[in-house]
Structures are given as C-alpha cells and as structure tokens.
Amino acid sequence: MRIASVIDISLVDVPKIPVTVIFTGGCNMDCRYCQNAEIIPLDSGTEMTIPDIVEKVRGNLSDGYCITGGEPTIHKDLPLLLQALKDDGASHINLNTQGSVPDVLERCLPFLDSVWFDMKSVPERYSEITRVQSDPWPRVEKSITMLIDSDVSFWPRTTYVGGLMNSGEIQGIADSLYKLGFQGEYLVQNYKKSAGTRENEVSTFHEPDRSELDQLLETIPSGISLKFDWR
C-alpha cells in the first residue's frame, strides 16, 4: 500500500479520541477543491508493507487511528492493514472515504469503529464534481446503505464550496441520506483555500458565508440534524 505521510497524534480528526493519522497515497477522484492535491496521483507516496506500516505508527500516545488520503479504499490490502492495527491493540479505527469502492469498504467493516463519509454533492452532480466519467453515485449509494446497515458509526459530511455549490444542494444531499434511511448528524464544513489546493483549479471558488445555509435548519428532513463546522 502507498503511504503519503503520518501525523503522530491529532486531537481533531475523531471527536474526543486522540488518533494517529495515516494518509494513503492516490485517489480515484479529482475534485477541483481538493485540499491534498499532491497525493491524488496514484504513484504518490511510498509503497510499504503492512508490517512496516504497523511498525512505523506503533508507540504514539494515541488511542487509535484515522486512515485518510487520498482515498484509502483504492488499496485492496486496506482490510489487512486495519486488521493488523486492531491486532496490535488499536482501540478505535476511523476511516475517511468517499465510498466509491464498496467491495473494499465491505471487507473493512469488521475492523472499523467509525467512518467520516465525504458526500460530494447531489446524485446528479457526482460525475461533474468528482471529475469521474463513469458515474460514481451508484457505488457511493451502495456504500452508504452498507454503512447504515452496519454497526460502524456513520458520519456523513460535506465540504461546502462557495462558487461551486449552493444551499439547495446541501438540502438535496440531506434528502438523499434520508431516503437511504439515515438518521443522525450531518456535518457541513466550509471550504478554505490552503497550501494543499491547486491555484489554477480554485481561482473561481471562495470561502462561503455560513448564513447562506441558515434557512436549511427549518427544512432538513426529520431525524437528521445539520451541524456546521466553520473553520
């Protein structure tokens, strides 16, 4: 598996749990606003064996792991890494995914405690936003259903990008989650330009104003609570 980098300890990636963050290299999408654009190429990072990864991350003062990327599920041996981390004593394993590889995600489920699930847009805009020709939505939908039906904590979230999305799309995503049976918290965070974005891709985007979304608090489907994380 290709590993791009490791953060020894993070207090912000999983609520109330200090975790070691493992960034895998490579992604099968190409969102214009990506904050980790340098690790989108499939040959980014360094190829490492599972024992070498476990050895590298062992001994940090964390209570678990957050596996992110890139897109971790493009790596077929991801379930083996998660199993090795559990066997090594991890008390919590969180995965960040956009859900486009449900067969790998399914094999990961026995070792996962929680999943941050990136909801990119409404179903009709998935190909456009992610710049993937073969529509990813049917696979994403399968992953969402699988997670809702599992014992793993499912935490959907969307990065709201000014100049790319509008408030109606956040409503549409919440409606899609509701139709798939989701009940719980749906997190919307603001896009922020950062050192990891590509200047030529984000020139027409801006950091959005939270007040654009306030009206949604009245119209969100029952059983779903909208939470804002404006950084």
Q: Which residues bind ligand SF4 (CB under 6 A)?
A: 27, 29-31, 34, 36, 40, 69-71, 98
**Nearest approach, Cβ of 120 to ligand SF4 (angstroms)?**
7
Q: Which one, of 63, 66, 59, lies nearest residue 5 by Cα?
A: 66
Nearest distance from C-beta of residue 90 to ligand SF4, angstroms: 23
Q: Which residues, 6 or more positions from 38, have their beta carbon under 8 angstroms from its beta carbon?
A: 44, 196
Residue with Cβ nearer ligand SF4 (38 or 88): 38
Nearest to 4 by CA among 196, 136, 192: 196
Q: Given the complex with ligand SF4, which of 114 and 121 has the nearer CB atom?
A: 121
Pairwise CA distance, residues 57 & 68, whole Å: 14
Nearer to ligand SF4, 33 or 65 (CB): 33
DSSP 8-state assignment for residue 189: E
Other beta carbons within 10 Å of 138:
12
Close Cβ partners of 141 (under 8 Å, ≥ 6 residues apart):
123, 180
Judged by CB, which is closer to ligand SF4: 86, or 118?
A: 118
Q: Are residues 36 and 69 in contact, defined by beta-carbon separation less than 8 angstroms?
A: yes
Min dist. Cβ of residue 118 to ligand SF4 (A): 6
Q: Which residues pair with 190 in a beta bridge?
A: 160
Cβ proximity to ligand SF4: between 94 and 98 the closer is: 98
In contact, 157 and 118? CB cutoff 8 Å: yes
CB of 223 to ligand SF4, least distance (A): 27
